[in-house]
A and B are shown apart, each in its own frame.
Chain A
Amino acid sequence: MPGIFAFVEAREGEIRKVAGETVTAARGLADALGVEVHAVVLGAPGLRERVGELGKFGADAVFVGESEALARYSPEGFTTVVVNFLKEHACDVALFPGTAMGKDLGPRVAARLGVGYVSDCTALEVVGGSVVAARPRYAGKIASRVEFTGTPVVAAMRTNVVTAKESRRAGEVRQLDVALNAADFGAIVREIQAAAGEKLDVGEAPVVVSGGRGLREPANFKLLEDLAAALGNAAVGASRAVVDAGWRPHAEQVGQTGKTVSPQLYFAIGISGAIQHLAGMRTARYVVAVNKDPEAPIFKVADYGIVGDLFEIVPRLTEEIRKLRNE
């Protein structure tokens, strides 16, 4: 039975939230092509108990591959299981999330199958029976449309561009046979070190609070951390200038040599708006800018701007949002 393959990301035995986006995107394509959604999730034994939700987002079948060898992500192990699945089930499209795992796995799967791959898809459409992908280049300065010369089409979606939508299907759970031994892998994850305080990733968070040179010194990022904490669902981001200066880790950098983000809401605090920064956040749904310079380029792309001293404005913003949250 042909279908759309959706890779469901699990880490440490938990299905990650991005899975809702991946399965929703797969459902859209499956409806356009009149086929089924096959969700595949890999991990350590016990994962089967966690997959009940996936039918809700439109998975017709959920294939669970359980093995100690899959307890942590392995490029070789995961590629083998996914490629075997794709060879057995004639899938038109194989969708991956735009995460560290999805963007590592997708290229390997495509290379082993000898088919095309695209990352950062903002849309996948069916045009005359064929799949066409829309994806940005040059960190969003240019948009592009890409077609494929074979199947399956292998694609990683940009995170946060698809809204997980309920579209209940059977979500019938099936077991995948996995015959793998981690001792055969040339690369093994020995340890996962969590960043301090269970932080949301800037590439995935629905709200991003970014700071630049206007913060004046690294300690002042506390203001943005407080605002992010008040918002609850926010990650702290940073401009290239402050990352280059060593104030913030590269993992937080937004822009062409950092992450390209598409949150619902983006705060640019003390960021003037260099072209390579604007490229990385231009697809945010709403942009709020706070800057003392009314001529700063960031105001040209901001939906809402406040001109003034961020050291007065940001604490007030944090306070008002706390009030709102307590209502």
Chain B
Amino acid sequence: MKSIVCVKRVPDTETRVRIGADQASIDPSGVKFVLNPYDEFAVEAALRQKEAAGAGEVLVLSVGGTDSAETLRTTLAMGADAAVLLKTDTPVEGLAVAAALAAELKERQFDLALFGMKAVDDDLQAVGGMVAELLDLPSATVVTEFSVAHGKVTARREVEGGTEVVELRLPCVLTLTKGAYEPRYASLKGIMAAKKKPLEEKAAQVGDAGTRLQQLSYPPERQAGRIVGQGPDAVPELIRLLREEAKVF
């Protein structure tokens, strides 16, 4: 089983994000960057596939700046075999990233191309599906769990009010969400081993995103409202306010 996992370096979700001087990017100073949480599930899923099959390879790709090498090193410490950084000096998103990943994937053999279902920075939730389209591969997005047997993948996908069970031909693209793949921590041994694993860097063949970020701004702060009261006796007043002021009932 050969898997290629595509990952992204993103600000930690606990981080307070500030807008940079150009009004079109965030100020990275003081921000802790991590492996995108959804991508952790994808890495974990790939490692488990390899372990279950008793053979195979897990290669990790990332499109980003030099700093993304550190994120790739994290995935190597988790147990991935090799990594490739597709380098770009300017931040890119959407179809531009998908084009760079698709160009690299096209040069390689794989059974599974795995992604996190979205990156928690731009929240676009699009790159996995775009790569599938550019490579003309079947895909399932927002997958909680999957299995591979007899050359087919059976994936469980979250939809409104339930689960779709999707059967896919190999090779295919899956984007992962939280579910069966609670990510492992890198062991000390893994961290040491990661230093010797191959991490190649090459220029990304970035495409045209078809979009241009005009401007970032802070959303209006929610105004603190009022404390209606203490304990259950405040409930009738709350109901009155919801009816008469908010008019939601």
Contacts and interface: CB of A to CB of B under 8 A. Distances in A.
A78 to B, nearest CB: 12
Given A186-B137, A250-B144, A282-B219, A149 B211 contact: yes
What interface size band does chain A fall in?
Answer: 35 or more
B141 A191 contact: no
Contacts of B202: none
A219 interface: no
Main secondary structure of the interface of A (DSSP, over half): mixed
A257 B129 contact: no
Contacts of A250: 144, 158, 177-179
A64 B161 CA distance: 25
A142 B172 contact: no
B164 interface: yes
Contact of A265 (B17, B162, B217, B242): B242
B214 A117 contact: no
Contacts of B122: 137
Contact of A301 (B121, B224, B239, B242): B224
Contacts of A104: 129, 139, 141-142
What interface size band does chain B fall in?
Answer: 35 or more
Interface in B213-249: 213-219, 222, 224-232, 234-236, 238-239, 241-243, 246, 248-249
Given A114-B95, A192-B164, A309 B231 contact: yes
B37 interface: yes
A116 B216 contact: no
A297 B122 CA distance: 25
B148 interface: no
Contact of A305 (B137, B141, B226): B226
B160 interface: yes
A316 B98 CA distance: 52
B241 A136 contact: no
Contacts of A313: 231-232, 234-235
Contact of B133 (A111, A194, A264, A276): A111
A280 to B, nearest CB: 10
Nearest to B24: A144
B110 to A, nearest CB: 15
Interface string B118-140: 00111111111111111001111
Interface stretch (B8-16, B74-82, B183-191): B8-16
Contacts of A192: 159, 162-165
Contact of A257 (B98, B165, B172, B178): B178
A2 interface: no
A108 B139 CA distance: 10
B104 interface: no
Contacts of B16: 141, 275
A4 B138 CA distance: 28
A147 B212 contact: yes
A200 interface: yes
Given A149-B212, A186-B138, A309-B231, 5 more contacts: A107-B127, A149-B208, A187-B166, A250-B179, A324-B239
24 contacts: A72-B164, A73-B164, A75-B141, A110-B130, A111-B131, A111-B133, A116-B94, A139-B13, A142-B216, A146-B214, A186-B168, A186-B169, A187-B172, A188-B167, A189-B166, A192-B163, A193-B164, A250-B158, A256-B120, A282-B219, A287-B225, A288-B238, A294-B227, A316-B232
